[in-house]
């Protein structure tokens, strides 16, 4: 993440999300000097960035901040990646991109297939997948990539089985979702995103069509069957929701697991606490989400009217990003926020959002994180980095805070 001297609204500060081991020094400066900052991306797109916890919590629930990309003002339209002739517009109309009443209807219908009972029923299967992956790691000599061989394999297998996606296709899906969640600022990058969007959109649309004719015991089939009085999801809505669940349902959990394990390895005193007291696993996952969460900023919002956020006037139509990473390190909300402490009694972060757009998949992500990390440290209490920490490469993207790889020794 790069920065220049803070400037007024006519000269926004430049920011490049991701790619740095420690973006938190910049966030601390922004919280202190310009908690609602006028910013620009490497390609020149402009937006407002919210960095303090109190402002972030309020903004996440403010109905004047629309989720509908059609509400972005024309002078800022280039900031927000909108489907072009080369992309698949059918992937856009999902829960993260609509406001009430459409959001209310969609969430109610989706919840009928995404019930707590269905999620809880996955617990035994998640443990089985975890144990199989740990068995494979135990048989391997030398260092291994924890990200590829564990943190990725578990969530992608779980979400594919949940949705009814063939497991033979997981590597394709991972490639597409990685392309879609990586920051781009040139024509070549936009072309990769457009290609991934078209391929993934076509794949999901075909899967939905197949499940419509041949339903199974999976979430896509449940969404197809979901009704609310006479309402049900359209084919385009089904495709968009399956896309959101497939990509969002594994990508963020991959880095939740990897970031948490990295934090534990870098803090051996905390690792020892968890090894000696497995009941701390719930606290560990919440503290890891707060300390090094896998989602750096919430998805785009747009000022439906001129509004005040903190002491700053945000103009109508302006894009707004809310930094979950910065809010989680706000000393006005958390004591010693830069300390990783799994005994912390208060980790009430905003990583899963707030209000209407609170993450529907939060219970599944928490369950996977607790099972994966708890099982890993029980099996390999001496797990350690196989490379210097400062050599680890962080991904560059607007949303995901995560690594390219995580080489470790488990023996």
Q: What token pair was written down for 339?
A: 């300390």
- Centre a 10 Å sphere on the Cβ of residue 248 and count the other Cβ atoms it contains: 23
Q: What token pair was written down for 98?
A: 């609509």
Q: In this structure, what DSSP letter does residue 315 have?
A: P
Q: What is the pLDDT of residue 187?
A: 65
Q: What token pair was written down for 138?
A: 């135990």
Q: Which pairing describes strands 36-40 and 13-14: parallel, antiparallel, or unpaired?
A: parallel
Does residue 57 carry a pLDDT above 90?
Answer: yes
Cα(246)–Cα(226) distance, integer angstroms: 18
Q: What token pair was written down for 370?
A: 């607790």
**pLDDT tens for each residue of 313-361:** 999 999 999 999 999 999 999 999 999 999 998 778 999 999 888 888 8
Q: In this structure, what DSSP letter does residue 74 have?
A: G
Answer yes or no: is 156 within a domain: yes
Q: Which domain does 332 fall in, by range? A: 13-409
Does residue 17 carry a pLDDT above 80?
Answer: no
Mean pLDDT of the chain: 86
Cα(315)–Cα(302) distance, integer angstroms: 10
Share of the chain above pLDDT 70, in %: 87
Does residue 89 carry a pLDDT above 90?
Answer: no
Q: What is the pLDDT of residue 227?
A: 67
Answer yes or no: is 73 within a domain: yes
User: Is the Cβ–Cβ distance between 65 and 303 less than 8 Å?
Assistant: yes
Q: What token pair was written down for 79?
A: 């900031």
Q: What is the pLDDT of residue 2?
A: 36
Answer yes or no: is 8 within a domain: no
Return the higher-pLDDT residue of 14 and 195. 195
pTM, whole model, 2 decimals?
0.90
User: Is the Cβ–Cβ distance between 360 and 106 less than 8 Å?
Assistant: no
Helix (H/G/I), strand (E/B), else coil: 308: strand
Distance of CA 318 to the CA centre of its chain: 23
Residue 83: pLDDT band with limits 50, 70, 90 = very low
**pLDDT tens for each residue of 109-124:** 788 777 888 889 999 9
| DSSP per position, 9-54 | TTSPEE---S--S--HHHHHHHHHH-SEEEEE-TTS-EEEEE-SHH
**pLDDT tens for each residue of 173-205:** 888 887 776 655 556 666 777 788 888 888 998
Q: What is the pLDDT of residue 71?
A: 87
Cα(265)–Cα(268) distance, integer angstroms: 6
| Phi-psi group of 18: left, alpha or beta (phi > 0 → left; psi -120 to 50 → alpha; rest → beta) | left
Answer yes or no: is 6 within a domain: no
Q: How many structural domains are present in the chain? A: 1
Answer yes or no: is 205 within a domain: yes
Answer yes or no: is 163 within a domain: yes
Highest mean pLDDT among 11-15, 88-92, 103-107, 271-275: 271-275
Return the higher-pLDDT residue of 89 and 250. 250
Distance of CA 388 to the CA centre of its chain: 26
**Range in 111-115, 256-260, 305-309, 313-317 with the lowest mean pLDDT:** 111-115
Share of the chain above pLDDT 90, in %: 54
**pLDDT tens for each residue of 218-244:** 889 988 888 656 778 888 888 888 888
Contacts of 107 (CB under 8 A, 6+ apart): 95, 356, 360
User: Is the Cβ–Cβ distance between 42 and 14 less than 8 Å?
Assistant: yes
Residue spans of alpha helices (H) in 184-234: 187-213, 219-225
CATH of the domain at 74: 1.10.630.10
Cα(219)–Cα(117) distance, integer angstroms: 13
Answer yes or no: is 392 within a domain: yes
Answer yes or no: is 7 within a domain: no
Q: Which pairing describes strands 319-322 and 301-303: parallel, antiparallel, or unpaired?
A: antiparallel
**Range in 24-33, 75-84, 380-389 with the lowest mean pLDDT:** 75-84
Query: What is the separation, in whole angstroms, between the first and last Cα of the chain?
Result: 35
**pLDDT tens for each residue of 38-50:** 988 776 778 999 9
Nearest to 353 by CA among 328, 330, 382, 380: 328
């Amino acid at each position: 993440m790069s920065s220049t001297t803070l400037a007024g609204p006519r000269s926004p500060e430049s920011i490049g999300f991701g790619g740095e081991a420690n973006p938190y020094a910049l966030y601390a400066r922004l919280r202190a000097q310009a908690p609602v900052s006028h910013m620009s991306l490497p390609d020149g797109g402009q937006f407002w960035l919210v960095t303090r916890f109190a402002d972030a919590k309020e903004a996440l629930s403010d109905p004047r901040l629309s989720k509908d990309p059609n509400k972005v003002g024309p002078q800022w339209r280039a900031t927000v990646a909108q489907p072009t002739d080369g992309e698949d517009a059918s992937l856009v109309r999902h829960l993260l991109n609509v406001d009430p009443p459409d959001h209310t209807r969609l969430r109610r219908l989706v919840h009928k297939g995404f019930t707590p009972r269905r999620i809880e029923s996955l617990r035994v299967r998640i443990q089985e997948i975890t144990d199989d992956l740990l068995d494979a790691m135990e048989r391997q000599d030398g260092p291994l990539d924890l990200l590829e061989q564990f943190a990725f394999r578990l969530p992608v297998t779980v979400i594919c089985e949940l949705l009814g996606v063939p497991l033979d296709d997981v590597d394709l899906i991972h490639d597409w979702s990685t392309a879609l969640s990586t920051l781009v600022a040139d024509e070549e990058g936009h072309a990769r995103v457009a290609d991934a969007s078209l391929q993934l959109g076509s794949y999901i649309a075909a899967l939905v069509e197949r499940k419509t004719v041949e339903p199974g015991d999976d979430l896509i089939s449940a969404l197809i069957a979901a009704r609310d009085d006479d309402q049900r999801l359209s084919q385009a809505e089904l495709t968009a929701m399956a896309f959101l669940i497939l990509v969002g349902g594994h990508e963020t959990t991959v880095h939740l697991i990897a970031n948490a394990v990295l934090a534990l390895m870098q803090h051996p005193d905390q690792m020892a606490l968890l090894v000696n007291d497995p009941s701390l696993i719930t606290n560990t996952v919440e503290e890891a989400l707060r300390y090094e969460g896998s989602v750096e900023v919430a998805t785009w919002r747009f000022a439906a009217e001129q509004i005040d956020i903190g002491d700053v006037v945000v103009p109508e139509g302006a894009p707004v990003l809310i930094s979950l990473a910065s809010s989680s390190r706000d000393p006005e909300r958390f004591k010693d926020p830069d300390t990783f402490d799994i005994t912390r009694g208060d980790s009430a972060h905003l990583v899963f959002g707030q209000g209407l757009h609170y993450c529907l998949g939060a219970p599944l992500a928490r369950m996977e994180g607790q099972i994966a990390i708890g099982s890993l440290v029980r099996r390999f209490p001496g797990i350690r980095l196989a490379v210097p920490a400062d050599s680890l490469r962080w991904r560059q993207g607007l949303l995901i805070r995560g690594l390219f790889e995580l080489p470790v020794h488990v023996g």
